[in-house]
């Protein structure tokens, strides 16, 4: 079990975080840049000393500011994969991997490094200098190096962000396997919720130095605790004022116009969230309410194909996004400047208190 | 317009090259090669060459051994008085050599601040030459080394620590190789400065054949009486400096030192 508690003032950021990760599990710390994600990793590794904090790994106390304990980074045994991989440019791939191996002969270290590189499928690149390697190859060398000394915890800083989109999916699957096999607590940092959902057994959303919500990725997406989390997980977020209405529903007058119905109860200023794939589009003159209770007259502001789906940017007048099939786009003749009716079910509408919204997204 | 500007650029470079290389070429062209080599055979000339080499090598050894860790400290730590420390270290760069000589006498001469402890062991001795060379050339190395260490990717140093290396080991195995080309450039600059040192040495150590008379001092002594001999020594000094510069460029160009460039 890896436990990290830290309170620190880092420039404009107030870091105040407490988390624990069981062995063999991966916690993904997700949040925008400047949220303090990397600082949490640096505290765990001993590269940053918070004003107040405790770091424990198993029975070992790595940091306890109360008791004046602060173990040096080299004595903590963390496998740290840096954002740009931080491979030593003056060493070959195998020398990088052999770097943490000490107390054995050069021959033995070379053999061990070669084995590790083979395990990551890049044995033939042992003699190559980092600058000649591709992003994916560098990532594997960095992982092999971090695992070479059998670390007690793994810390990964945006492990996929330096890769191009094509390599990222494969590298992500491979990394998920490595994390599972390592059997140690893993703490991973990412600004991308999809990546967090892919690699983390659990996701903690961090913003402004605090963990806003923690849980399984699917749970965060289904029941975001705040508008920020909803927005971060990819939902559309609209703001308005809620009033209880007849039939045990809540009606929300949206800022700028339009009304939305939800089953969640709330009063006063709120944010409303709905996922783009729950929004259907129909011609503006259609009066068939269908089974959806929410209808907004919208202007189409953008049409972008993403795979076999199409993301349609809308103004209602608050911005929202619908994700529909390309068949629907052709049928409705959706193009920039067209009008349409966006509709979704009341049950798909989540109402979130606005209190947390003061934790803004521009905390960097 | 663009054409005219291009012509200005070319003309400027041509003028600079001509002016900067003419005196160097003149040293070789003014006298026949045979006469140059003959005058090198003179005993005093060889003594001066030997002294220049030994003293500058000793000064450089001191500078590298003390200067490298000192530059690392200046590059990696933030502390009160750091800016002042950097300025003080750089001060000898702008000091006129005569002032450096007077300063050394005032500090390390028999009547100087530390005269009680040192006595006349430094003044007018070979050790005094090494002392003067170290004083004037150390800032060249320190400045360059500090910049080279500052340019090393911080994440390399962090990575090294998380991989089980202490700061000392990180310094030896990551920082020094990564800063290699910069350290070597500083080394070459400092050595070049030491080889050419004249004023401070003359004032602090004097100009005694075989004891303190390095090549620049020997050239100065001869130029009134034996111009050919002065030319010959100058030619040797030019060749040595050029060889120094060329070997540094070759070493860092061939990537033998790895380097921080990524």
pLDDT of residue B35: 76
**Could you say which DSSP state residue A308 is in?**
T
Tell me the pLDDT tens digit for each residue of A192-209.
887 888 788 899 999 999
Structure tokens at B117: 């402890």
- A positions 313-352 inside 8 Å of B (CB): none
Quick check: ipTM above 0.90? no
Q: pLDDT exceeding 70 applies to what percent of chain A? A: 95
CB contact, 8 Å: A102 with chain B? Answer: yes
CB contact, 8 Å: A277 with chain B? Answer: no
CB contact, 8 Å: B151 with chain A? Answer: no
Number of helices followed by number of strands (H, E) in chain A: 9, 21
Q: Measuring CA to CA, how many Å separate A277 from each of A51, A281, A310, A323?
A: 45, 11, 10, 5
Average pLDDT over chain A, rounded to an integer: 86
Does this model's pTM top 0.80? My answer is no
Tell me the pLDDT tens digit for each residue of A21-49.
999 899 999 988 889 999 999 999 999 99
**How much is the average pLDDT of B46-64?**
92
**Highest mean pLDDT, choosing among A93-102, A230-239, A288-297:** A93-102
pLDDT of residue B140: 93
Phi, psi of B69 (to 5 degrees): -60, -35
pLDDT of residue B1: 61
Using the predicted structure, report yes or no on whether residue A351 has a pLDDT greater than 90: no
Chain A residues near residue B76 by CB distance under 8 angstroms: none
Most B CBs within 10 Å, among A76, A88, A102, to test the B interface: A88
- For B14-23, B152-161, B202-211, which range has the lowest pLDDT when averaged over its residues? B202-211
Say if CB A36 and CB A15 are below 8 A apart.
yes
Kindly report the three-state secondary structure assignment for every residue of B8-69: HHHHHHHHHHHHHHHHHHHHHHCCCHHHHHHHHCCHHHHHHHHHHHHHHHHHHHHHHHHHHH
pLDDT of residue A360: 31
**How much is the average pLDDT of A169-176?**
78
pLDDT of residue B105: 87
Smallest Cα distance from A134 to chain B, Å:
13
Most A CBs within 10 Å, among B163, B182, B255, to test the A interface: B163
Q: What is the distance between the alpha carbons of residues A76 and A63, in angstroms, rounded to a whole number?
A: 10
Using the predicted structure, report yes or no on whether residue A234 has a pLDDT greater than 50: yes
Q: Measuring CA to CA, how many Å separate B7 from each of A180, B16, B17, B18?
A: 66, 14, 15, 16
Nearest CA to A254 out of A226, A296, A300 is that of A296
- A155 to chain B: nearest residue by CA? B162
- For A141-150, B67-76, B235-244, which range has the lowest pLDDT when averaged over its residues? B235-244
Structure tokens at A128: 């190559």
Say if CB B5 and CB B204 are below 8 A apart.
no
Q: Do A82 and B258 touch (CB under 8 A)?
A: no
Using the predicted structure, report yes or no on whether residue B61 has a pLDDT greater than 60: yes
Using the predicted structure, report yes or no on whether residue A222 has a pLDDT greater than 80: no
CB atoms within 10 A of CB B106: 13
Using the predicted structure, report yes or no on whether residue B250 has a pLDDT greater than 90: no
pLDDT of residue B253: 65
Chain A residues near residue B174 by CB distance under 8 angstroms: 88
pLDDT of residue A270: 83
Q: pLDDT exceeding 90 applies to what percent of chain B? A: 41
Structure tokens at A112: 């061990």
Tell me the pLDDT tens digit for each residue of B144-176.
999 999 999 999 999 999 999 999 999 999 999
pLDDT of residue A332: 85
Confidence grade of residue A287 (pLDDT, cut at 50, 70, 90):
low
Using the predicted structure, report yes or no on whether residue B60 has a pLDDT greater than 90: yes
- For A67-71, B53-57, B81-85, B217-221, which range has the lowest pLDDT when averaged over its residues? B217-221
Tell me if the bond preceding A317 is cis, omega within 30° of 0.
yes
Using the predicted structure, report yes or no on whether residue A289 has a pLDDT greater than 70: no
CB contact, 8 Å: B156 with chain A? Answer: yes
pLDDT of residue B238: 87
Say if CB A322 and CB A314 are below 8 A apart.
yes
CB contact, 8 Å: A159 with chain B? Answer: no
**Highest mean pLDDT, choosing among A276-280, B4-8, B62-66, B189-193:** B62-66
Handedness of CA A300, A302, A306, A311 (dihedral sign): negative
Tell me the pLDDT tens digit for each residue of A258-269.
889 988 888 888
Chain B residues near residue A102 by CB distance under 8 angstroms: 164
Q: What is the largest CA-CA distance in chain B?
A: 69
pLDDT of residue A175: 85
Using the predicted structure, report yes or no on whether residue B251 has a pLDDT greater than 60: yes
Tell me the pLDDT tens digit for each residue of A76-133.
989 999 999 999 999 999 999 999 998 888 999 999 999 999 988 899 999 999 999 9
Q: What is the distance between the alpha carbons of residues B11 and B177, in angstroms, rounded to a whole number?
A: 40
């Amino acid at each position: 079990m890896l436990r990290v508690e830290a309170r620190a003032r880092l420039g404009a950021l107030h870091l105040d975080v407490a988390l624990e990760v069981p062995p063999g599990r991966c916690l993904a710390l997700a949040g925008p840049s400047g949220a303090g994600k990397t600082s949490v990793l640096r505290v765990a590794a001993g590269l940053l000393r918070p004003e107040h904090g405790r770091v424990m790994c198993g029975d070992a106390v790595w940091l306890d500011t109360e008791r004046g304990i602060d173990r040096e980074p080299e004595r903590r045994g963390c496998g740290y994969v840096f954002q740009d991989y931080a491979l030593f440019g003056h060493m070959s791939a195998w020398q990088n991997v052999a770097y943490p191996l000490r107390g054995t002969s050069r021959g033995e270290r070379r053999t061990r490094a070669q084995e590790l590189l083979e395990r990551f499928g890049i044995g033939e690149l042992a003699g190559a200098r980092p600058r000649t390697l591709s992003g994916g190859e560098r990532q594997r060398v960095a992982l092999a190096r971090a695992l070479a000394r059998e670390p007690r915890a793994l810390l990964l800083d945006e492990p996929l962000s330096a890769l191009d989109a094509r390599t990222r999916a494969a590298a992500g699957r491979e990394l998920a396997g490595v994390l599972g096999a390592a059997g140690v607590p893993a703490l991973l940092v990412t600004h991308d919720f999809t990546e967090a959902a892919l690699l983390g057994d659990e996701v903690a959303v961090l913003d402004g130095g605090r963990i806003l919500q923690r849980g399984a990725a699917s749970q965060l997406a289904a029941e975001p605790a705040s508008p920020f989390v909803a927005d971060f997980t990819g939902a559309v977020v609209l703001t308005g004022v809620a009033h209880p209405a007849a039939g045990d529903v809540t009606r929300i007058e949206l800022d700028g116009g339009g009304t939305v119905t939800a089953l969640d109860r709330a009063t006063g200023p709120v944010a409303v969230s709905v996922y783009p794939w729950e929004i259907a589009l129909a011609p503006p003159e259609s009066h068939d309410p269908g089974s959806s209770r929410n209808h907004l007259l919208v202007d189409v502001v953008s049409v972008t194909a993403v795979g076999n789906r199409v993301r349609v940017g809308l103004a209602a007048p608050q911005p929202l996004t619908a994700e529909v099939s390309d068949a629907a786009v052709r049928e409705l003749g959706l193009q920039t400047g067209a009008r349409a009716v966006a509709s979704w079910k009341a049950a798909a509408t989540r109402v979130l208190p606005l209190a947390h919204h003061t934790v803004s997204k521009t905390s960097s | 317009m663009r054409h005219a500007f291009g012509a200005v650029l070319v003309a400027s470079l041509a003028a600079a090259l001509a002016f900067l290389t003419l005196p160097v070429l003149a040293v070789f062209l003014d006298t026949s090669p045979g006469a140059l080599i003959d005058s090198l055979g003179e005993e005093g000339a060889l003594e001066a060459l030997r002294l220049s080499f030994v003293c500058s090598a000793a000064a450089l050894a001191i500078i590298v051994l003390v200067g490298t860790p000192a530059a690392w400290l200046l590059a990696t730590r933030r502390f009160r008085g750091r800016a002042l420390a950097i300025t003080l270290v750089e001060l000898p760069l702008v000091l006129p050599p005569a002032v450096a000589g007077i300063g050394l006498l005032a500090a390390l001469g028999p009547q100087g601040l530390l005269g009680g402890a040192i006595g006349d062991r430094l003044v007018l001795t070979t050790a005094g030459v090494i002392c003067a060379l170290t004083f004037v050339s150390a800032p060249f190395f320190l400045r360059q080394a500090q910049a080279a260490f500052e340019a090393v990717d911080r994440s390399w140093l962090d990575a090294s620590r998380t991989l089980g290396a202490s700061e000392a080991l990180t310094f030896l195995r990551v920082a020094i190789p990564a800063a290699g080309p910069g350290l070597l450039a500083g080394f070459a600059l400092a050595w070049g400065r030491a080889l050419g040192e004249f004023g401070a040495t003359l004032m602090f150590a004097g100009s005694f054949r075989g004891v303190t008379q390095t090549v620049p001092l020997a050239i100065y002594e001869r130029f009134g009486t034996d111009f050919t001999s002065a030319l010959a020594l100058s030619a040797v000094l030019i060749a040595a400096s050029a060889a120094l510069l060329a070997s540094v460029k070759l070493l860092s160009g061939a990537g033998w030192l790895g380097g921080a460039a990524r």
